[in-house]
Structure 1
């Protein structure tokens, strides 16, 4: 199946976090536009996750350690590790999840 990012409808998954989502049988990709000040509450999930900061400054806490990430930074998040974040500026993030994030379908 083929997609064009510009034609994928955006979903507001949580306040200020707008995602364009693509799913396959075993993985999901989420292209996020994140408003300045938007927060992702602490949570954990069974999915392995890779986060890529494409634009902006994103404060991210992973397993109790907080760092600010900038464009080009990539974070690998193991399954079941608690994590949270806040957009210090408007951000564009790319998340890849395996297995598929069924709750984002």
Structure 2
């Protein structure tokens, strides 16, 4: 199946986070446009997650370890580990989740 990302309608999943989600059989790929200052509250889930900062600066706390991620940097979040984040600038992010969300 061929998908053009620009044809996937973005949805505001939480304030300041507009996502385009593509679901496969075993994983979900999410592209986010994030407003500066938008936050993701601390949460955890059964999914393994890999976050890639495509553009911007994003403060991300994983298991109590707070770091700032910039263009081209990635972080792996194991299943069941609490994490939260905040966009320090406008950001474009990509998340991969497995299993599918």
Segments of 5+ residues of structure 2 without an aligned counterpart are none
Tell me the equivalent position of 1:7: 7
When normalised by structure 2's length, the TM-score is 0.99
Q: Name the SS of the counterpart of 2:80 in structure 1.
A: coil
Partner in structure 2 of residue 44 of structure 1: 44
Q: How does 1:1-105 map to 2 (within 5 A)?
A: 1-101=1-101
- The two structures have a TM-score, normalised by structure 1, of 0.95
**Aligned with 2:81: secondary structure?**
coil
Would you say how many aligned residue pairs link Structure 1 and Structure 2? 101
Q: Give the distance between the partners of 1:7 and 1:24, measured in 2 at CA.
A: 17
Distance 2:62 2:48 in 1: 13
1:11 deviation in Å? 0.6
Give how far 1:2 is off: 1.3
Query: 1:41-83 CA distances to partner (integer Å, 9 max, x unpaired)?
Result: 0000000000000000000000001001000101011000000
